[in-house]
Amino acid sequence: QVQLVQSGAEVKKPGSSVRVSCRTSGASFNTYIVAWLRQAPGQGLEWMGKIVPIVGVGDKAHKFQGRVTFTADKSTSTAYMDLSSLTSADTAVYYCARETSQGYFDFWGQGSPVIVSS
């Protein structure tokens, strides 16, 4: 049973950074592509990028270039998303998901709310 379990809610000040973790189980971490997506309140879904843990490289949506970093710890089967220079526009629920080799998302974490407020 594939599972992705994310870290809890965060409240951050504008200009600061946030780290969200995503612990995986139920399949070899070496077979994963971990994607990161977000959903602002009342809005749709937005793909931020992905990481391939076995090689430690991935891809980022153009919008987040220079502001987001994806890493993975193979020893704990955990992926991380770091987002810097936060503004109120970054207030959202952040999801990790398993991205298939084709590019759709078959298993999702439960979501991590991030609130950016002064």
Partner 1 sequence: EIVLTQSPDTVSLSPGEGATLSCRASQSVSSRWVAWYQQKPGQTPRLLIYGASNRATGIPDRFSGSGSGTDFTLTISRVEPEDFAVYYCQQYAASRTFGQGTKVEMK
Does 115 bind partner 1 (CB under 8 A)? Our answer is: no
Among 47, 70, 80, 94, binds partner 1 (CB under 8 A): 47
CB 71 within 8 A of CB 79: yes
Smallest gap, in angstroms, from Cβ of residue 10 to partner 1?
18
Residues 3-32 that bind partner 1 (CB under 8 A): none
* Nearest residue (CB) to partner 1, 76 versus 110: 110
CB 95 within 8 A of CB 109: yes
Q: How far apart are CA 81 and CA 97, in angstroms?
A: 12
Distances in Å between the Cα of 25 and the Cα atoms of 29, 37, 79 are: 8, 19, 12
Q: How far apart are CA 45 and CA 26, in angstroms?
A: 25
Does 61 bind partner 1 (CB under 8 A)? Our answer is: yes
Smallest gap, in angstroms, from Cβ of residue 11 to partner 1?
19
* Nearest residue (CB) to partner 1, 29 versus 64: 64
Does 94 bind partner 1 (CB under 8 A)? Our answer is: no
